[in-house]
Amino acid sequence: MTAIHLNNLVKRFGAFTALKTMDLEIRDGEFMALLGPSGCGKSTTMNMIAGMENPSEGRILFDGKDMNGVTMGRRGVGFVFQNYAIFTHMNVYDNLAYGLKVRGTPQAEIDRRVKAIADFLQLTPLLKQPSAKLSVNILQRLAIGRSAIVEPAIFLLDEPLSNVDAAFRAVMRTELKHLQRQFRQTMVYVTHDQLEAMTMADRIAVMDHGVLQQVGTPLEVYNNPVNLFVADFIGSPGMNRLKGTLAESDRGLVVDLGPLGRTQPLDPALAAVARGNGSQEVVYGFRPEQVAVAEAGRGLALPVTFVERIGARTVVHLGDGEQRVKTVFDNDVGLQAREMAHIAIDPGSVRLFDAASGMAIRGT
Ligand code: ATP
């Protein structure tokens, strides 16, 4: 187990800055996901932790020790990539055993550990199979096993599940979390898939355009996104956002949503902070899951554009143009396309953002 500190880390490729001043503490034994869209600098960060790239500025510390100049081999990290690096001329057993053999581990110990990891990853029936003939799913599982077997203090995984099929991905999400719990490694997991990050990570570092946006537990980033980017990126669908203007009413501070009318009064604590915001132009945010169907004449009225059924969930799309909203229900709420829907949003789940900066308006 090792804690990782990224200290004012910057990475430039020529004139292009791929990573801008990244400060992040990854705790001992923590499962940290680096989450963000393609090109945001996740792999660049990971490669620097591994020792494959040198930072342009800043430092990487493992348990307080500066890793500058320490080669990958000496950092004690296991690394699994999207493109599994498997020796295709070897069978499954020899691939798993490889890292232990090169370290001179006694044969009996190799046998014991190969058996344990093969059982864990359900590779036991395949141990004698040549690797060249294995499916993508099995190869990726083998790549994870090959890195995990040497029990590195730090385990780095860069999009390890992006090439595998959806059903297998769901299985592996559970297994990887289980693996990390069992070995209590510090795990850094790169993904652009918010579901992977939300289901596996202890904390998530959300990145965009080379900038760390927010670090928090899955619930923190879901419930209290620091800005509109995080609000949108986390959740499927992301947070609803309606542009409006703050307005006083006799029942408290509300948001005037133009053609959609006025919202319910804001929660008093949020209203107090919002009154102190420099601008009255805001974005009214709420999660698709935190909406209830209201009686006619109450809540916001929007036309239903279409209704999507995804298994037990119903996603109802409402409104058009800039005033579009998605709502998610656990059951069929009986709304039909083209009818008028009335939705109520619990004031406690409303989030406000400054329209110009996109930053959350909230107390400290
Ligand atoms: P992806 O999932 O697509 O790999 P990412 O978030 O991991 O996305 P990075 O691979 O870290 O993104 O890349 C960040 C930016 O740095 C991208 O714009 C990429 O083109 C650029 N970049 C990465 N490596 C290099 C390099 N060796 N030379 C020049 N630019 C690079």
Mutate to test the pocket of ligand 1, among 9, 11, 13 (most ligand atoms within 8 A of CB): 13
With a 6 Å cutoff on the Cβ, whether 238 touches ligand 1 is no
Q: State which ligand 1 atom lies nearest to the alpha carbon of 192.
A: 2
- Nearest protein Cα to ligand 1, atom 22: 18
Query: What is the CA(157)–ligand 1 centre distance, in A?
Result: 16
pLDDT per residue over 215-245, tens digit each?
999 999 999 999 999 999 999 999 999 999 9
User: Is residue 84 scored above 70 in pLDDT?
Assistant: no
Query: What is the CA(18)–ligand 1 centre distance, in A?
Result: 7
Q: In this prediction, what percent of the chain has a pLDDT beyond 90? A: 73
pLDDT per residue over 131-189, tens digit each?
988 988 888 889 999 998 988 889 999 998 888 888 888 888 988 888 888 878 899 99
* Between 234 and 120, residue with greater pLDDT: 234
* Mean pLDDT score across all residues of the chain: 93
Superfamily of domain 4-232 in the CATH hierarchy: P-loop containing nucleotide triphosphate hydrolases (3.40.50.300)
User: Is residue 127 scored above 70 in pLDDT?
Assistant: yes
What average pLDDT does this structure show over 178-201? 91
Query: What is the CA(327)–ligand 1 centre distance, in A?
Result: 35
Which numeric CATH code is attached to 238-361?
Answer: 2.40.50.140
pLDDT per residue over 280-289, tens digit each?
999 999 999 9
pLDDT per residue over 6-41, tens digit each?
999 999 999 999 999 999 999 999 999 999 999 999
Q: State which ligand 1 atom lies nearest to the alpha carbon of 14.
A: 29
With a 6 Å cutoff on the Cβ, whether 290 touches ligand 1 is no
How many whole angstroms separate alpha carbon 160 and alpha carbon 351? 34
User: Is residue 256 scored above 90 in pLDDT?
Assistant: yes
User: Is residue 198 scored above 80 in pLDDT?
Assistant: yes
How does 137-171 read in b/e, with b if 16+ C-beta sit within 10 Å? bbbbbbbbbbbbbbbbbbbbbbbbbeebeeebbee
What are the boundaries of each domain within the chain?
A: 4-232, 238-361
pLDDT per residue over 315-339, tens digit each?
999 998 888 999 999 888 888 899 9
With a 6 Å cutoff on the Cβ, whether 39 touches ligand 1 is yes
Question: Comparing C-alpha atoms, which of 238, 177, 161 is closest to residue 206?
Answer: 238
Q: What is the pLDDT of residue 20?
A: 96
User: Is residue 364 scored above 80 in pLDDT?
Assistant: no
Residue 360's pLDDT band (boundaries 50, 70, 90)? very high
With a 6 Å cutoff on the Cβ, whether 19 touches ligand 1 is no
Residue 314's pLDDT band (boundaries 50, 70, 90)? very high
pLDDT per residue over 39-56, tens digit each?
999 999 999 999 999 999
